[in-house]
Chain A
Amino acid sequence: MNAKKSDKLATGIIYGLVGIVVTILISLLGYILYNGVPDINWHFLTSEAQSFSAGGGVRDQLFNSLYLLILALIISFPIALGAGIYLSEYAKDNWITDIIRTSIEVLSSLPSVVVGLFGYLLLVIQLNLGFSILAGAIALTFFNLPLLTRNIEESLSSVPDLQREAGTSLGLSGWKTITKIILPMALPGILTGLILCSGRIFGEAAALIYTAGQSAPSVDYGNWNPFTETSFLNPMRPAETLAVHIWKVNTESVTPDAGVISSASSAVLIIVILIFNLGARYLGNKLFKKMTAAK
């Protein structure tokens, strides 16, 4: 076979493979949206879930998902950032670093059910947090930390060493070089990782069933004091998220419209993740342009 033919063949195969991926994605997304979107309406988004009668909404579940996501990121991002900076900039190439990297890899392949049960034993039972948003957020941190750390490390490492040398040669300290030169350059990569993690967190159910719980008590959206029982910001209350709700509706719901609720909730989940993705990407580009003065 000559070079031209084999090149054509390889190109064809690659197009074919990418076609498979795109087809699967589009049909999956299309199916979820096609089934769910017609049932999404203002009432569905703004009313409480019903246990027995039809016509329930997902207001609390949607809010819980967002709140849990934000809490989990607030806890896990600083830790992952620190660990990522350590691994990329400070860690020496020795067996200790190898052990850290291996542990992170092992942790990242832990099934989320295991994370959930571990969280249940440690946070809910031992630390007496009960089924709560806080327990859920910490469990999600366990779940999220390895990937986020790896992502931040890789984003930082992909900044050329020349940039570090430039900083050093101008008499800047290592820390200044990292925070003011390397980090801004790594920002788009870090942001992409953060978005991916957010999507994972938002869609996570197994790790939350045993930590954040499966019930959504009514909360008062006018009460901004997180230390009171009824406040929507109270991190100590149980909180069923959208993903858990979908699972629950599908397994043990007795409402007559369970199918509708399930498909509409799934569509809402996907749409929120989509909005998240696009929004964060836009923000990241803007931020990067502002920091680097790139036009």
Chain B
Amino acid sequence: MKTYDFNQQYISKIDKEIAISTDNVQVHYGKSHAIFDASLDFPRFQITSLIGASGSGKSTYLRCLNRMNDKIAQVDGKILYRNTDINSKKINVYEVRRHIGMVFQRPNPFAKSIKDNILFALRNNGINDKNELQKRLETSLKDAALWDEVKDDLDKSALALSGGQQQRLCIARSIAMHPDILLLDEPASALDPISTSKIEETLELLSKSYTIIIVTHNMQQASRISDYTAFFHMGHIIEYNETKNIFTAPEIKATEDYISGDFG
């Protein structure tokens, strides 16, 4: 495996409105150090993709952003969202996760009806108005480009849907909460190409009103849908720039090697 100098970094400044940023985030799993000094700013209403080899820490980093690592790892540093450090112990993590939603690698719909998948969390967060629930059900499914396929089967089990439909249901479930930011951890890696392209279309539509941060293994996917790209290597952020710059003129040798496939 080639070795690269982790001090060689290129983090471009973002001159747009920032939705969320991290400041020197460190992650430890027990004694092993998984993320080193991660400092990134994520622009609002843009798609940012996190790329890198397996084990580079991109998923770990993503999970820090809505405190999903709480019980698993030790996360230090600041995560700033609306001028608040959401990595602080005093923060209400449930509230954080309502603002920052997450979609996982494997579709994980609840073993409930399609309708209840969307409405379950809403009801549990105190939304009981029937009109409001109906509105959210419809708009979230429409936004996730699933409405036309399921509108007649809302009471059927979500488990009867195909993998791609389940994943779009999970996206709908997240956006029904009206989050600001949507985190996606390799949302298409378990899906076939047709489902993948549907998910990508969905994300591009959603980026008009949501800030999207997506971890992906698929570099074509990153270059197709994202506006910004961060390249992770062995727990370090090596390069962060507009996607077109990363894929056409990377600043750092490690990025160039990774993108051209001449890596490791």
The size of the chain B interface, using a CB distance under 8 A, is: 32
Which residue in A163, A168, A173, A294 is a CB contact (below 8 Å) of B157? Answer: A294
The size of the chain A interface, using a CB distance under 8 A, is: 22
Which residue in A163, A167, A169 is a CB contact (below 8 Å) of B101? Answer: A169
Cβ < 8 Å to B, chain A residues 257-295: 291-295
Which residue in B104, B108, B125, B159 is a CB contact (below 8 Å) of A292? Answer: B159
Contact with B along A166-207 (1 / 0, CB 8 A): 111111110010001100110000000000000000000000
Chain A residues with CB under 8 Å of B158's CB are 293
Beyond A171-B94, A171-B177, whether A160 also contacts B110 by CB under 8 A is: no
Chain A residues with CB under 8 Å of B97's CB are 168-171
With CB as the reference atom, state the residue of chain A lying closest to B170. Answer: A166
**Contact at B104–A166, with CB atoms within 8 Å?**
yes
Chain B residues with CB under 8 Å of A170's CB are 97-98, 101, 120-121, 173-174, 177
Chain B residues with CB under 8 Å of A172's CB are 94, 121, 124
Beyond A163-B110, A181-B110, A185-B111, whether A169 also contacts B155 by CB under 8 A is: no
Cβ < 8 Å to B, chain A residues 104-153: none
Chain A residues with CB under 8 Å of B244's CB are none
CB distance from B68 to the nearest CB of A (A): 6
- Once the chains are docked, how many angstroms separate the CA of A217 from the CA of B4? 86
**Contact at B160–A292, with CB atoms within 8 Å?**
no
Cβ < 8 Å to A, chain B residues 210-224: none
Which residue in B66, B68, B95, B120 is a CB contact (below 8 Å) of A180? Answer: B120
**Contact at A163–B108, with CB atoms within 8 Å?**
yes
For the complex of A and B, the 3 pairs showing the least CB-CB separation, nearest first, are A293-B113, A162-B108, A170-B121
Question: What would 30 A/B residue contacts be, using CB atoms closer than 8 Å?
Answer: A160-B108, A162-B106, A163-B111, A165-B68, A165-B104, A165-B108, A166-B108, A166-B109, A169-B101, A170-B98, A170-B101, A171-B96, A171-B97, A171-B98, A171-B121, A172-B94, A173-B94, A180-B120, A291-B111, A291-B112, A292-B111, A292-B112, A293-B112, A293-B113, A293-B116, A293-B156, A293-B157, A294-B157, A294-B159, A295-B157
Q: Other than the known A169-B104, A184-B111, A294-B111, what 15 A-B pairs have Cβ atoms closer than 8 Å? A: A162-B104, A163-B111, A165-B102, A166-B104, A166-B109, A168-B97, A169-B68, A170-B97, A170-B101, A170-B120, A172-B121, A173-B94, A291-B111, A292-B157, A294-B160
